[in-house]
Amino acid sequence: MTDTPENRPDDIQPEHLQDPAVNIAQKDWVMTSESLEELLLWLDPDRDSGGNLYEQIRSRLIRIFVYRGFIEAEEMADVTFNRVSRKATWLRANYKGDPFHYFKKVADFICMEYGKKVTDPLPDVLPDWKDEVDESEPVHNCLDRCILKLKPQERYMVIQYFEGDGHTKIVNRQKLAEKLGITMNTLRIRMHRLCRVLRKCVDDCLKSEMELHLS
């Protein structure tokens, strides 16, 4: 990134470091349809591609915030986008370089802001991890249902890939890769994508279970 002064507009700095008058205006500021349009066009001259890139960056930012240990990851991602879209017109006209660097910089500032907000630090002693499996938990019921939606071969792959432990597991995976005629790394990627489909299904299922429970 060319981290030049012109690429660092003042108002992306942490709010506690800025003029309070400016901060108030910025806190009240919400993304408008015009600023969103500007943002998408800055991301890509083709609006649809810009929309796809928007979704991509947002999901990755959420993951980054989660890995940094922030509970409000989604909110932080939205604040990041608000902050960037406020400058979208200026960015389209002046910014040189790819948008990822800019988002990263803004996300860093947002982390600093939210880091300051944490009043109760995490306790050193956390509740211990329970190894026992409670099959009455909704996640098991949802997983059973979602796995049944997979093709037989995919179901077989899930079982073969995660079955056993230690050396047995490694051997199972090697056999599976041989049967499918693929490398272990390809198998890892394929399993990850399969699990992502499963996870989406389980999340949707849990959400509908929760809504049913609340109603």
Q: Do residues 58 and 103 touch, judged by C-beta distance below 8 A?
A: no
Which region among 4-12, 19-27, 29-37, 58-66 touches other proteins (by CB under 8 A)? 58-66
Cα 22 from Cα 39, distance rounded (Å): 21
Residue whose CB is less far from other proteins, 27 or 149? 149
Interface size with other proteins, residues (CB under 8 A): 57
Which tokens in the block code for residue 214? 């609340």
Question: How many other CB atoms are there within 10 angstroms of residue 128's CB atom?
Answer: 6
Give the contacts of 185 (CB within 8 A, at least 6 positions apart). none
Give the contacts of 209 (CB within 8 A, at least 6 positions apart). 138, 141, 142
Which region among 17-25, 37-45, 82-90, 154-162 touches other proteins (by CB under 8 A)? 154-162
Query: Residue 155, interface with other proteins (CB under 8 A)?
Result: yes
- Which single residue is written with the structure tokens 């047995």? 168
Q: Which of 56, 174, 186, 208 binds other proteins (CB under 8 A)?
A: 56
Q: Which residues here bind other proteins, judged by CB under 8 A?
A: 56-57, 60-61, 63-64, 66-67, 69-71, 73, 98, 100-101, 103-104, 107-108, 122, 126-127, 129, 131, 133, 135, 137, 139-140, 143-144, 147, 152-153, 155-156, 158-166, 179-181, 188-189, 192, 195-196, 198-199, 202-203
